[in-house]
Each structure stands twice: as C-alpha cells, then as structure tokens.
A and B are shown apart, each in its own frame.
Chain A
C-alpha cells in the first residue's frame, strides 16, 4: 500500500549538478567556443561624465586581426535598453563603464590592442555627481535631460498607513537616526562570458552564456537587433555564480556581440575581465535611510516614518522594482499603527546598482534593525523584550493592510526570536557584555551579541506578474526530463525541481534529469530572481506532473476496466489502481505505464506546467494591498569580538531561526542560507567599492575583499517548517533570507560590545576605531 508521506521531498538528496561541479567537468560560459569565432572587446570612456566629440577608429583598424568595429550608429534597432542603458554611447558618457565602440578580432589580444588604439576625442567635461546629495541639489546638472531632478524613472514608492507624522509629533518619546550602505559587487567567481552566433538555417540569433535571466536578454536583444522574439534564442551555459548580477552586464556584451555576429556572419565571443566586470556590472544599490519613530512610555511603537534614497548610478533598470520591495519592508515586521515610508532612486555618475541577493532588503533591514535596537535602548529596554513587544503576531495587520492569516503567513517571528535567544543565551550575554565593556580599557577586545529579525515577501509580489513555467516529459523507459524557464546558477533549483517531479510520480530522483534553459524550448518564466524559483517553478512542475498523472490514469483505468471512482496512485516507481473501496485492482511499473501510454495508446507524455497567481491588485499610490502572497520570517543572533584597539571584528557565531514553509531539500536550504550569511558578513565588515570621484578604484579582488574560509564562523540554522499553502508542499523560497539579517545583527553586536553605534556599512577597521570612515 503506497504511503501518504513524502518520499523524496524533504530529503537532502544529492545535487544534480554536484558531481560535474566538484570534478571540474561543468561547462561554464568561457569554456564554450565555436568554429571560426571572433573575440570581442569593448572600448570604454576615459572620463566618467563627458561629451564625446568624435571617435577615430583609423588606428584600431590597422591592428592585424581586426574584422569589424561597431559604434552606436551601427546598432540596427533600439540603441537604448530598458533603464536608459545605451548599448554604446555616441555623444556623452555618463559613467566610467560606458562603452563607445566594440571590436571583433581574430584573437582576444588583438581585439584588446585595437581597443587601446581607438582614439576618442572628448569635448566638455561635465560635473561628476557621485553622491545622492550632489545629484539632488537644486542646482545640480541633469545627468539625463528628461528626468525629474536626477530621480530614476518610476523608482519613487510610498507606503502610507495612518498618520505617522502627527503621531510622532505628539508621541511621548521620539527617536531619529540615519543609516547608510555602500556599493558592493556580487562577487561571483566567474566573470561574464557570452558567445553569439547567427544561424542562417533558422534565421535566428543564438546567444549562449552566463545568463541569469534568459528572457530579459532575449527581449533586450530583440529590440537592439530589431527582430521578433522568436528569432532570438538564448541558451544558458553553466554559471559560476550570479546572485542577481549577470543581467545588465550580459545585456551589454550579448547585444554588442550579436550585432557583430550579424555583420560578420561569424560567432563572436566576449568575456569580461574582472576589472570590466566590476566596472560595468550591477552592484547592490547604496541606500541612505532616515528613520523617525514615536513611542509610548511602555516602549510600544506608535509610528515610524522613514525616507530612503537609493543611489542608482547613471542608468538603472532595477531601482523601480527594488524600491517597491524596499517600501514594503522598510518598517520591518512590526505591528505599528502608523507608518509612512517614502523611497526614491537617484541617478549619479557612478557605477550602477542592480540586483544582488536580497534586492534592497539588506539595505533597509540594516537600517530598520539598527534603528529598532536604538529605539529599545532609548526606552531602556533590552532588544529582545522590545522586539517581542512590538513584532507582528498572527492575525496582526501589516501597514499594507494585509492581515497575517496563519494559513498563508504564519508570522511566528516571536517564536523564532525566543528560539535563537534561548539557544544563544542572548539576554544573559547581552547584559554581561554591557557591564564588561565598562570595566576594561578603550582599546581592549570586547565581546558583543546582537539580534535582528526580518520578514520577506515571497516572490515578485506587486513588482510584476509572478508566472512560472515548467515542461515535464516522460520517456518510454519511464525516465523523466524537467525543463523550466527558470535557470540553475548554483542555487540548486535544478535539484529541487527534479525532486518535486520524483515525488509527484513516486519515482527515484535519479530517474529525473534537468536540462539547462533554452528560450526556444521553454515558456517565458520571467527572471530567476526574488527567491521565486521554488514557488513559481515548483508549482509549475507540480502542475505539469499532475496533468501527466491524469493522462496516465485516463489510459490505464479504462484499460483495466476499473469501476467508477477508482484512482491511480504513483509510488515505489510503480502505479497502483485502487477501487473506491481501497482495494488494489492492478499494479504495474511506472516505466511500463509510460510505455503503454506512448507506444500502445499514442498518448503524449509531455506537459507544460504553468503557475500564475493572477494579476496583483495593489494601490501603488498609498502602498495598500496584498503586496505579497506570503512572507518568510527570520531571527538571527550574531556573536562577535571587537578589538577596539585595531578595529578588527571577528564573528564568532551566527545563529538563525527561519520560517520558510517547507524545506524541499534541507541541505540546499542550509547551503543557500549559509552562502547568504557569508555574503552578509562581507557586506557588514569589509566589502565596499570606491567610486567617489566617478572612477572605480576598487578594481579586483585584491581591493574588494570578501570573507574567506578563515573568517567564517559556525553558522547554526534552526529551520521552522509551517503548513502554508503558497508554494509546492508549502515551500516559500530561501535564496535571499540568509543575507539580510546579518549586517544589522553584527552592527547591533558591535554596539553591545563597545557602547558605540556605527550607522554606516561596512564596519571596517577605520569605522570601528574612529567611528567614521577615513
């Protein structure tokens, strides 16, 4: 008798891409080559904000091997991509990563030599605006002539609930502080690589590469090349990390290379150096946040008002989305009667912001969770009691008006706080550190412990339509192929989606194979972002599997003359026909069932699965409405040692409790969480990019330090599973939750250790010693 429990879902099965990755067999972008390929190099501006008078290519053409050179006027279609990004600039450069030309040559070396031989004649040097304050100054020059005071299009968002301003004015206790974060690179180890080719047989441009979001690239290329979507085909290669980043930079190199391919009739390969990747790929946007809170005498939050400015860089295609997410999360998972959040995006002549794991959450969670600690201190409460008093509970109302119905949004954050605090003995240590710091000298090593909590909207929510696709095919031997418009880029989605198919068919997970995404094969699933792969992709896989099960049932039950009301069950690699009285009528192997359907009855065993939550009804003026179908919740404790004499902070332990619905694969969940937590540590302590004069001074990994093996402490994760009805088996996605709580937990731990508050990231050596950056 088949049992009802999950067999494969919930198990730590091995990763589908694991063996290839650990044996070095994986084919990454730069491992791909094509017969007669050319190599592309881009020619970049020398100045961050400058008029371009002319581009002299004559010397570049003389370099042996050069086959073609393009400038902006050679773009056949729309030369400006979404977010105002130019494929190539012709009259004005607005940041140091702007390219004026692209060269295709027989070798990468000669392409590079030719790039160096291009002579750009510059005209007027414009003011270089490198900060939000400069860009918003009333007399600031305009980076684009048609924006509102250097504001990024569509990037202002508001969440207004109640009357925060008036309440704060009258509140017994008012607290105000500002926080700021920095540009950081996604830090994937593999830089961007692409190879483009024109296929005359099908009149199609084929793009292969390290592409996180194939449909974004397809759409951009269709515009640039002035071709229909069905004549642009994007095939994903193995990806050595992306974290949101391999999007804009892929768009640039893929579009330039594709134009060159069409002109030369030859494949064109483009690989960025690390320096180019740092300069011309998306960073996590810096956000400055001003918070104001009104509290009553008992420490209850009455109102929070906050104003945020996101620094976008010269062009931006993510601030409009990231800021919307930011607007929903900026007041944290607290039950606050009055909330007023305003967030804006601002152009500057710097490197640009885009998607990086967390997508505005790491910035605003650093702000609100540092601020909550400061509020607690101002009313004389410890951070645990203060959070327990104010955090949302089941059936509370979020400032968006959403009610936290436990069927969809468990809101067990108070339980999570208690779990991490009892596990770490938080309150005792917190109190002990506070006393200890007063008993030692100002250059001593002191211990600190800090708490932060979060909630995270699942999927895209009101950012856009959250549809997902999957195609499931059963072959005549009973083996299954899962395809999806979502991409595998190291996060483990290929494994979890295969696991879901295995569960649905009651077969061993080794029977299921994944294929890397190809836009000619799969329905547009939107971008693989926002931790949405498991919900939208997983639901689509379930949908496809359900349809196939039904087809098999419709073949087998009549064939076996099963009485009305009989059912077919899939388990142990077999199918069981059960009568309405639960008697076993017949049993055959899953492979046999597939063979009968395909070879005997001629029934198709391929199905397109689709997930759509339908359109979102959200009032973008006031920020009211069902922002997300559900939320994840989390609580994190960081324990640190701060050497006050040198500024070195050592993280000793991180302990997190997370509510994620269901862990389809607990090992992948841990991997995702730990990876995010380590990136969160880098964000908190050491990562920063210096573009303070418009030139990028942080050019490689010798200056852009990320945590190494020696920096990584034990990371304990308590997974709290809940029964919610959002994603497959209740899963809600875990890709980003790991990163966002770490920086505030560390900042709060630092404050506990030293009694001093640092309100800017990173908490580097200088800030710890001096209280400010150099």
Chain B
C-alpha cells in the first residue's frame, strides 16, 4: 500500500484525533529526515497517510524555561538546540550532541522529537538526554503521560504507541550545582555520519566528592544505555580516587552482558574504554581545577 494522503493539522487535538482514527495507517512526520529514507526503502508499507506535524511548531517547537525545568518542544531542530543560550550554558552535552547530528542541512530539518522516537542505536541526542534525566510527555486523545527517558528506553517494543501517541514535550531539570559533562562521538567521517560509538559522562561535585554521576554509551547496544555500575563506582569518591580506566571497563562489561560477544566488539570494546577514559578524565579534570 502506498501513501494516499498528506495531511496538515491545525492543532494538536486535531492531530491526536486523526491519529486515533487512522491508527497504524497514519505516519507522523516532523523534519522527515528519518521518515523519508525509510519510506523510500519500503519500511512503511502499511501506512496510507502522512500527518505533518510542522504546522504545530508554534506549540511544539519552543524552548521554554520554567523554574528549574527546561521544556524542549519535540519539533525543535538540532540547529536550534546547539545554538540555544540556556542549553549551551546549562546542558552543554545536549548542545554538543545536537551539533554532532548529520550536517547543517540535516540539523536544520531534523528534530529532537524525531531523534527520540526513531531511537536508532546511534541516536545522538538520546545519549545526553539519558544522562540529563529527561522526561518525555506523550499525549493521546483524552490524556497525557510523563515517562522518564530511562523507562522509555527500558520498555522496549511497547515503549511508545505510535498509533495513538504524540510526543509533546521533553522536560529536563536544570542543575543548580557544579556539574560538568562531556559528549564524545566517533564516526567514519567528520560530518553526516552515524555514530560508530558515543559516550556521555556527567558528574556533580560537592566538596571534591562526586555526589552524582551519569555514564551513558550510545551505538554499543540496541539503544543507548546508562552504565549503572560505573555510576555507582564513581559516586561518593573523591576526584583523585576515580580510575577512568575502570569506568570504561564497566561500560564494556555491561555491553557484553547485555548483548553477548559480537563481532564488532573486537573494535568497540577497547574504543569504548578509551572514550570513557577520555570523557571521565576531562570532566573530572575540569572540576578538579574549579
């Protein structure tokens, strides 16, 4: 079945209404940078109509700052994220990740919402969003639900009901303490290439001790994951007590536990350890100086 209809909606309610009527047959499109190649390759054979979300940019395309919470609309593009002053100042690892997405053309069209929903193993913004405790707001006809990023990922195939729900908000708590983070990405060329691997490390320091640590890897497992063991290992330690190699080793261990040995691990395991070592050294080094 090919796409028969292209529909633009006037309001979020209309969009939800249409979705609830057409369900599996409807395909939401935001920037289209994931949808269009997938459509062409025959991935959406059962879809009959496209619902274009872009007219909702007025409502779903803003970055708002409310008390200690930053709200990013799902239609916000990577270009805007990487340039937003609040994100650059308080959530720099998200700005870094968005800056690594594709090329300027892709960043001008591609949205954070699309990146989250497609949830490729190499989805770049998902890595910092996981570290930053982002919450996702999903709307459906007659209600909304708010899901922490981590549980959205853990829910696997049932995480999101594409035939009923629309992502309407991404909420990120803003830090009020000495927090440092780093996002690193490795790809086969310097732009417009998917991550071969990515990592994010985020630590909060009080009195030279690590009071909070987030360690995330991307493109190593079916989707990005926090490395709980590594976070627990770092937590409570003085900066000088952390062995950055150990953090990498724990990330490697997690990957092997989750997926078993894979052929690509011959390369990925040593490299994730090295990336972790670099990120941890850099993050703690900066905080050590502060």
B189 touching A646, Cβ below 8 Å: no
Given A766-B267, A769-B267, A774-B266, the answer on whether A646 and B190 have CB atoms closer than 8 Å is no
For B257-278 the 0/1 string (1 means CB < 8 A from A) is: 0000001101100110011011
In the complex, A443→B191 CA distance in Å? Answer: 23
Closest to B184 in A: A646
A770 adjacent to B267 (CB under 8 Å): yes
Nearest to B103 among chain A residues (CB) is A708
Chain B CB within 8 A of A139 CB: no
Inter-chain contact B190/A765, CB cutoff 8 Å: no
User: Known contacts A443-B274, A645-B278, A702-B37; is A650 also within 8 Å of B267 by CB?
Assistant: no
Chain A residues, CB < 8 A from B103: 708
A selection of 19 A-B contacts at a CB cut-off of 8 Å is A109-B2, A645-B278, A646-B271, A646-B275, A685-B189, A705-B188, A708-B192, A709-B191, A711-B190, A765-B186, A765-B188, A765-B196, A765-B267, A769-B267, A769-B271, A770-B267, A774-B264, A774-B266, A774-B267
Encode A457-477 as 1/0 by CB contact (under 8 A) with B: 000000000000000000000
Chain A residues within an 8 Å CB radius of B267? 647, 765-766, 769-770, 774
Enumerate chain A residues within 8 angstroms of B190, measured Cβ to Cβ: 650, 708, 710-711
* A736-774 residues at the B interface, CB under 8 angstroms: 764-766, 769-770, 774
Nearest CB in chain A: distance from B203 CB, A: 21
User: How far is the CB of B244 from the nearest CB of chain A, in Å?
Assistant: 12
Indicate whether A591 reaches chain B with its CB closer than 8 angstroms.
Answer: no
Residues of A within 8 A of B275 (CB): 645-646
Q: In the complex, A685→B103 CA distance in Å?
A: 20
Residue of A nearest to B271 (CB): A646
Known pairs A645-B274, A645-B278, A765-B196; A708 contacts B266 (CB<8 A) = no
> How far apart are the CA atoms of A109 and B37 in the complex, in Å?
17
B193 near A648 (CB under 8 angstroms)? Answer: no
Which residues of chain B have C-beta atoms less than 8 A from A769's C-beta? 267, 270-271
Complex alpha-carbon distance, A709 and B189, angstroms: 10
Closest to B186 in A: A646
Q: 1/0 contact trace for B235-271 toward A, CB 8 Å?
A: 0000000000000000000000000000110110011
A686 close to B (CB within 8 Å): yes
> How far, in Å, is A274 (CB) from chain B's closest CB?
10
Given A645-B278, A765-B196, A774-B264, verify A707-B189 contact (CB < 8 Å): yes
Smallest distance from the beta carbon of B277 to chain A beta carbons, Å?
8
Q: Are A764 and B191 in contact (CB under 8 A)?
A: no
Measured CB to CB, the residues of B under 8 A from A are 2, 37, 103, 186, 188-194, 196-197, 263-264, 266-267, 270-271, 274-275, 277-278
Interface string of A647-672 (1 = CB under 8 A from B): 11010000000000000000000000
Alpha-carbon distance A764/B190, docked complex (angstroms): 13
Query: How does the 8 Å CB contact mask read for A55-93 relative to B, with 1 for contact and 0 for none?
Result: 000000000000000000000000000000000000000
A646 touches B274 (CB 8 A): yes
Q: A647-B267, A766-B267 are in contact. Are A686 and B189 (CB under 8 A)?
A: yes
Would you list which residues of chain A between 690 and 736 have a CB under 8 Å from chain B?
702, 705, 707-711
Closest approach, in angstroms, between the C-beta of A275 and any C-beta of chain B? 9
5 nearest CB pairs, A to B: A645-B274, A710-B190, A710-B191, A766-B267, A646-B186
For B270, the closest partner residue in chain A by CB is A769
Q: A707: which B residues are within 8 A, CB to CB?
A: 189
| A524 CB → nearest B CB, Å | 40
Interface residues as binary, A520-538 with B (CB distance below 8 Å gives 1, 0 otherwise): 0000000000000000000
Least CB distance, B150 to chain A, in whole angstroms: 27
Question: Chain A's nearest CB lies how many Å from the CB of B211?
Answer: 29
In angstroms, how far is the closest chain A Cβ from the Cβ of B193?
6
A101-131 residues at the B interface, CB under 8 angstroms = 109
Nearest CB of chain B from residue A695's CB, rounded to whole Å: 16
Beyond known contacts A443-B277, A708-B192, A770-B266: 11 more, CB 8 A cutoff: A109-B2, A645-B271, A646-B186, A686-B189, A705-B189, A708-B103, A711-B189, A711-B191, A765-B196, A769-B271, A774-B266
Report the Cα distance A710→B99, complex, angstroms.
13
Q: Is the beta-carbon distance between B274 and A708 smaller than 8 angstroms?
A: no
A766 nearest CB neighbor, chain B only: B267
- A31 CA / B271 CA spacing, docked (Å): 47
Q: For residue B186, which residues in chain A have a CB less than 8 angstroms away from its CB?
A: 646-648, 765
Q: Are B193 and A705 in contact (CB under 8 A)?
A: yes
Provide the bound-state CA to CA distance between A686 and B191, in Å.
13
Residues of A within 8 A of B266 (CB): 766, 770, 774
User: Inside 8 A of A710's CB, which chain B residues have their CB?
Assistant: 189-191
Q: Is the CB of B188 within 8 A of A708?
A: no
Shortest CB-to-CB span from A209 to chain B, Å, is 23
Q: How would residues 670 to 698 of chain A score, 1 for a CB under 8 Å from any chain B CB and 0 otherwise?
A: 00000000000000011000000000000
Query: Quick one: given A647-B271, A702-B37, A769-B271, are A686 and B263 in contact (CB under 8 Å)?
Result: no
Q: Are B263 and A774 in contact (CB under 8 A)?
A: yes
Chain A residues near B271: list those with CB within 8 A: 645-647, 765, 769
Expressed in whole angstroms, the Cα–Cα distance for A364 and B289 within the complex equals 53
Question: Which residue of A is nearest B194, CB measured?
Answer: A702
Closest to A709 in B: B191
- Chain B residues with Cβ below 8 Å from A770 are 266-267
Q: Which residues of A contact B274 (CB under 8 A)?
A: 443, 645-646
Residue from the set B191, B264, B267, B270 with the largest chain A CB neighbour count within 10 Å: B267
**Residue numbers in A under 8 Å from B264 (CB-CB):** 774
Q: How far is the CA of A647 from the CA of B272 in the complex (A)?
A: 12
- A647: which B residues are within 8 A, CB to CB? 186, 267, 271
CA A525 to CA B103, docked complex, whole Å:
42
Cα(A643)–Cα(B8), bound, Å: 47
B200 CB, nearest partner CB in chain A, Å: 16
A708→B191 contact, CB < 8 A: yes
Residue numbers in B under 8 Å from A650 (CB-CB): 190
CA distance A702 to B122 in the complex (A): 13
Shortest Cβ distance from A771 into chain B, in angstroms?
Answer: 11
Q: Contacts A769-B271, A774-B263, A774-B267 hold; do A686 and B37 have CB atoms under 8 A apart?
A: no
Cα–Cα distance between A708 and B278 once the two chains are bound (Å): 26
Q: Which residues of B contact A686 (CB under 8 A)?
A: 188-189
**Do B278 and A764 touch across chains, with their CB atoms under 8 A apart?**
no
- Docked Cα-Cα span, A770 to B267, in Å, equals 7
Q: Which residues of B contact A709 (CB under 8 A)?
A: 191
- Contact partners of A764 in chain B: CB under 8 A: 188
**Of all chain B residues, which has the CB nearest A712?**
B190
Residues on the B chain within 8 Å of A774, using CB: 263-264, 266-267
A647–B186 Cα distance when bound, in Å, is 9
Q: Mark contacts of A618-655 with chain B using CB atoms, 8 A cut-off: 1 yes-contact digit, 0 otherwise.
A: 00000000000000000000000000011110100000
Determine the residue in chain A with the shortest Cβ distance to B40: A273
CB of B260 to closest CB in A, whole Å: 16
A111 smallest CB distance to B (angstroms):
14
Q: Which residue of A is nearest B262, CB measured? A: A774
Residues of A within 8 A of B196 (CB): 765
- State how many angstroms separate the Cβ of B267 from the closest Cβ of chain A: 5
| A650 CA / B187 CA spacing, docked (Å) | 12
Residue of A nearest to B265 (CB): A774
